[in-house]
Amino acid sequence: MTELIKQKLNDSFVVRWTALILISSVMFFAYMFVDVLSPLQSMLEKAPLNWSADTYGTFAGSEYFLNVFALFLIFAGIILDKMGVRFTAILSATVMVIGASIKLYAISPVFAESQNGLYTFLDSFWTSFPATAKLASLGFMIFGCGVEMAGVTVSKGIVKWFSGKELALAMGLEMAIARLGVFAVFRMSPWLAEKYTFTTPVTLCCILLCIGLLNFIIYFFMDKKLDRQLGEMNEEPEEPFKISDIGKLLTSKTFLIVAFLCVLYYSAIFPFQKFATNMLENRLDISSADAAGIFSWFPIGAMVLTPLLGWYLDHKGKGASMLMFGAILMTVCHLIFALFPLSGDTKWVAYAAIVVLGISFSLVPAALWPSVPKLVENRYLGSSYSLIFWIQNIGLMLFPIIIGKALVWSNPGVAEAIQAGQEVTYNYTVPMLIFASLGVFAFFLGIWLKVEDKKKGYGLELPNIKK
Closest CA to 410 of 434, 428, 422, 424: 428
CB 16, CB 10: distance < 8 Å? yes
Domain ranges of the chain: 11-456
Burial of 219 (C-beta count, 10 Å sphere; 0-12/13-18/19+): buried
* DSSP code at position 240: P
In whole angstroms, give the CA distance from residue 45 to residue 414: 11
| pLDDT at position 242 | 60
Q: Can you identify the CATH homologous superfamily of domain 11-456?
A: MFS general substrate transporter like domains (1.20.1250.20)
Closest CA to 150 of 241, 30, 2: 30
| pLDDT at position 228 | 82
* DSSP code at position 241: P
In whole angstroms, give the CA distance from residue 39 to residue 404: 15
pTM of the model: 0.82
CB 282, CB 411: distance < 8 Å? no
* DSSP code at position 11: G
Residue by residue, pLDDT tens for the chain (467 residues) are 344 446 778 788 889 999 999 999 999 999 999 999 999 998 998 878 889 889 999 999 999 999 889 888 778 877 887 888 899 999 999 999 999 999 999 999 889 777 788 998 998 888 889 999 999 999 999 999 999 899 888 988 898 888 778 887 888 788 888 888 999 999 999 999 999 999 999 999 999 999 999 999 999 999 988 888 776 554 444 445 566 667 778 888 888 998 899 999 999 999 999 999 999 998 988 888 899 999 988 887 777 776 777 778 778 878 888 889 999 999 999 999 999 988 767 889 999 999 889 888 888 877 777 778 787 777 667 677 778 878 888 999 999 999 999 999 999 988 788 777 788 888 999 999 999 999 999 999 999 999 998 888 888 887 766 65
In whole angstroms, give the CA distance from residue 366 to residue 265: 13
Give the residue ranges of DSSP H helices in 233-346.
244-250, 253-267, 270-284, 288-295, 297-315, 319-339
For the chain, the first-to-last Cα distance in angstroms comes to 25
Burial of 121 (C-beta count, 10 Å sphere; 0-12/13-18/19+): exposed
In whole angstroms, give the CA distance from residue 405 to residue 400: 9
